[in-house]
A and B are shown apart, each in its own frame.
Chain A
């Protein structure tokens, strides 16, 4: 049966220390397909593909490529067999230029010399052919995430990928960018590239793929043709139960002003006449969720850091419940009732090596009851953590497990639980569901809604437009450090998308 498939996996098993990532995977991908791989966090999607790409090696099981048994799977071998992969976490070196990243691992025409110009020509040819424009001479750390992804795709194509694997490619893109990507993928597919598309966004999967396989707990539970299925069925297959993806939103009961920003700006200290944040003002009232939509790297990060007291704006003021907190330290803000759910949970929200319990007291550890006199109160802290784990349904055997051993969804739950269980007056949320699966997303969204309904004031910054539209009472769109438009859930996706892309300014409409 292997003949008909371009790639097929047979009884693949893969374990990591203490984890069975893949118990017994059987899967076939046909030539010329766009084959979607759907699954919850930790289902094993990335692991399976990493095995194919040779980054990991299976404990047991076989892979067949074009009917041939494919052994000794190393990345080099994969590249030679025309397998290209865009990883969930980009495989780029920040302080190398785009060009250098593309050359990496290539063999030069005149070894050992690094023939940059030769490679530049070659790469430009490819980018012409597939219509992917990137600036080869910028450092990767200087280009936007969207651009970095283009670099990744170009890299794969340049290395002659016949089979292209994309691991959650859209999580960082605007709707427009996603649509462009899909177009690009369709073209590639026409030109004969087989594509494996990993995601847990149902509508995307429905849109792009023609075959869909669902992974759960390290096994393929089903493979269906797109025509014969529905989002509802897919989500059930994925989570193993029914998920109500939509629910009605009660209109907000707006109270007094809680948070205000008066025309703050932040000058880029690397480039004095560039502003990372430019004349931003906003006013947020008790009991509403204000969403900031926008493509990544348009100043949201800097704005958030200013609000959290990690940076001082070059000009302008920030006010929390009337107090001027423009120059307040982060700790002062926290004590004034600011809570913050950062975008990057692994690096900003959690200390990966610490236990769950230790992570639950990151901001409050020095306060009663966690500290009495000189010393921390382990018993108190553990009980607190146990309660929190129970209430926010963090899936873990015990609170002494290091958070690095939790799945993304559960890590996020720890943060949310921590931030919600403080006495909060104003909540700043960034990318609350980044990389989470439907189950977790639904959970997080409900938590945010119920908080808002019980009078919490929330500012949510997210690059996931769906999310912003679904939760926000008001929407602000940010582009190149500026607020370019106001909107609400009635505004059309297209309009908001165009604002995010900078091609539409609201004042232009008025």
Chain B
């Protein structure tokens, strides 16, 4: 059998050189392609903005300036980036383990509740300890919440897509109930939880911006997660179960055990995301605590192709969109709905552009090496 790497059978060696270059720098190229896709989406957006009677370049000026052109905007963007990163990690690790978790949103809420209970009601602890315990509480609560769907899947074979989705709604109403009743701040006349104590707050790491130590936690966790997946036996087992359940069984891997670990991780990550958001940014629980971070996380994970660098880049993109579009309305008065239109276009174009990346990967590095 012919074990040759295929170079496209056109004599054109310029093309060949391109393919050779491509096969070496696939990562770079895929990023490049995505960037072009984004530009295309922005171009269409520009036309719409112009139709709305606003100067697109000015508008986009605010997009950049608002998201990282100014010190504050920079900090703000990175602050939004944190929960997005956690949510996407949560989806990614579940995906790798063959589990479809669309429940990050709910797990974020419940995780935050966990952190709140420790952060607001456990008193006089030294900050280090208090913060650690609150974070742990977030992880545990998130894991337990995901665990409901997991146990139902493992023991009753219920479809986790539905259960995680349903649990989102339940979580949000549950939290609303809690802050109306048991966890309501007695000091306040409106329905909010009590704030967490100062000893449980994450420190600001970029003065004069909201950027808090959650960023460091998020980045460290990202590294840990991918280390877990690709450098530890349990991670190996998770990926095996995700990639080929039968083979995993024949190899003597304990499916139930591994799936449980996967669940705890996926739920724990989202829960940790909620805890960090609470302890670093919002400090008290309110009804609209997470503006859809959990759902954005799915997009981030897929767009980032489930690899650490990709996910980080995609999360930054989503954060920029969230923050920058706000600046576009403030500065240039771009109608709010147009911002969603542009966001939608960017997502659709970037994902669609994945086609080119795939094709290129196939024709260069892909196939039988």
A and B touch in the complex (CB under 8 A): yes
Q: Which residue of B lies closest to A353 (CB)?
A: B243
Chain A residues, Cβ within 8 Å of B227: 375
Chain A residues, Cβ within 8 Å of B4: 19-20
How far is B244's CA from A350's CA once the two chains are assembled, in angstroms? 8
Chain B residues, Cβ within 8 Å of A40: 1
Contact with A along B3-24 (1 / 0, CB 8 A): 1111001000000000000000
Q: Is A431 interfacial (CB 8 A cutoff)?
A: no
Q: Which residue of B lies closest to A338 (CB)?
A: B252
Q: Which residue of B lies closest to A23 (CB)?
A: B2
Contact with B along A358-389 (1 / 0, CB 8 A): 10011101100001001110100000000000
Q: Is B369 interfacial (CB 8 A cutoff)?
A: yes
Q: Which residue of A lies closest to B234 (CB)?
A: A366
How far is B255's CA from A331's CA once the two chains are assembled, in angstroms? 11
Q: Are B231 and A351 in contact (CB under 8 A)?
A: no
Interface of A is mostly: loop
How far is B3's CA from A361's CA once the two chains are assembled, in angstroms? 25
How far is B2's CA from A217's CA once the two chains are assembled, in angstroms? 6
Q: Are B363 and A17 in contact (CB under 8 A)?
A: yes
Q: Which residue of A lies closest to B6 (CB)?
A: A18
How far is B236's CA from A406's CA once the two chains are assembled, in angstroms? 21
Chain B residues, Cβ within 8 Å of A351: 240, 243-244, 247-248
Q: Which residue of B lies closest to A330 (CB)?
A: B252
Q: Which of A18, A365, A396 contacts B233 (CB 8 A)?
A: A365
Q: Is A28 interfacial (CB 8 A cutoff)?
A: no
Binding site for B on A (CB under 8 A): 15-20, 23, 40-43, 217-218, 308-310, 329-334, 340, 342, 344, 347-354, 358, 361-363, 365-366, 371, 374-376, 378, 395-398, 401, 405-407
Given contacts A18-B366, A406-B368, contact A330 B249 (CB under 8 A): yes
Chain B residues, Cβ within 8 Å of A348: 246-247, 250
Q: Are A20 and B2 in contact (CB under 8 A)?
A: yes
Q: Which of A19, A308, A353, A376 contacts B232 (CB 8 A)?
A: A376
How far is B23's CA from A485's CA once the two chains are assembled, in angstroms? 58
Query: Most chain-A CB neighbours within 10 Å: which of B4, B236, B248?
Result: B236
Q: Which residue of B lies closest to A410 (CB)?
A: B1
B167 to chain A, nearest CB (A): 30
Q: Are B1 and A18 in contact (CB under 8 A)?
A: no
How far is B97's CA from A313's CA once the two chains are assembled, in angstroms? 30
A42 to chain B, nearest CB (A): 3
How far is B233's CA from A247's CA once the two chains are assembled, in angstroms? 43
Q: Are A19 and B247 in contact (CB under 8 A)?
A: no
Q: Which residue of A lies closest to B5 (CB)?
A: A18
Contact with A along B206-250 (1 / 0, CB 8 A): 000000000000000000000100111100110110011011111
Q: Are B250 and A310 in contact (CB under 8 A)?
A: yes
A414 to chain B, nearest CB (A): 12
Chain B residues, Cβ within 8 Å of A15: 6, 9
Q: Are B369 and A371 in contact (CB under 8 A)?
A: no
Chain B residues, Cβ within 8 Å of A342: 250
Chain A residues, Cβ within 8 Å of B3: 395-397
Q: What 17 new A-B contacts, CB under 8 Å, besides A19-B4, A310-B250, A353-B243?
A: A18-B362, A18-B367, A18-B368, A19-B6, A217-B2, A334-B251, A350-B247, A354-B243, A362-B247, A365-B233, A366-B233, A366-B237, A376-B232, A376-B236, A397-B369, A398-B369, A401-B369
Chain A residues, Cβ within 8 Å of B243: 351-354
- A-B CB contact pairs (8 Å), 30 listed: A17-B363, A17-B366, A18-B5, A18-B363, A19-B6, A20-B4, A40-B1, A217-B2, A310-B249, A329-B252, A342-B250, A348-B250, A351-B247, A354-B239, A354-B240, A354-B243, A358-B236, A363-B251, A365-B236, A365-B237, A371-B233, A375-B231, A375-B232, A376-B232, A395-B1, A397-B5, A401-B368, A401-B369, A405-B369, A407-B1
Chain A residues, Cβ within 8 Å of B239: 354
Chain B residues, Cβ within 8 Å of A354: 239-240, 243
Nearest first, the 4 A-B pairs at minimum CB distance are A18-B367, A42-B1, A17-B367, A331-B252
Q: Is B254 interfacial (CB 8 A cutoff)?
A: yes
- List residues of B (244-285) whose CB comes within 8 Å of A's CBs: 244, 246-254
Given contacts A18-B6, A348-B250, A351-B243, contact A374 B369 (CB under 8 A): no
How far is B361's CA from A17's CA once the two chains are assembled, in angstroms? 9
How far is B254's CA from A371's CA once the two chains are assembled, in angstroms? 18
Chain B residues, Cβ within 8 Å of A396: 3, 369
Q: Are A16 and B367 in contact (CB under 8 A)?
A: yes
Given contacts A42-B1, A331-B252, A407-B1, contact A20 B369 (CB under 8 A): no
How far is B227's CA from A363's CA once the two chains are assembled, in angstroms? 20
Q: Are B250 and A340 in contact (CB under 8 A)?
A: yes
Q: Which residue of A lies closest to B241 (CB)?
A: A351
Q: Are B367 and A352 in contact (CB under 8 A)?
A: no
Q: Which residue of B lies closest to A335 (CB)?
A: B252
Q: Which of B1, B252, B363, B367 contacts A217 (CB 8 A)?
A: B1
How far is B6's CA from A218's CA once the two chains are assembled, in angstroms? 14
B61 to chain A, nearest CB (A): 43
Chain A residues, Cβ within 8 Å of B366: 17-18
Q: Which of B253, B254, B367 contacts A405 (CB 8 A)?
A: B367
Q: Are A405 and B244 in contact (CB under 8 A)?
A: no
Query: Most chain-B CB neighbours within 10 Å: which of A43, A332, A358?
Result: A358
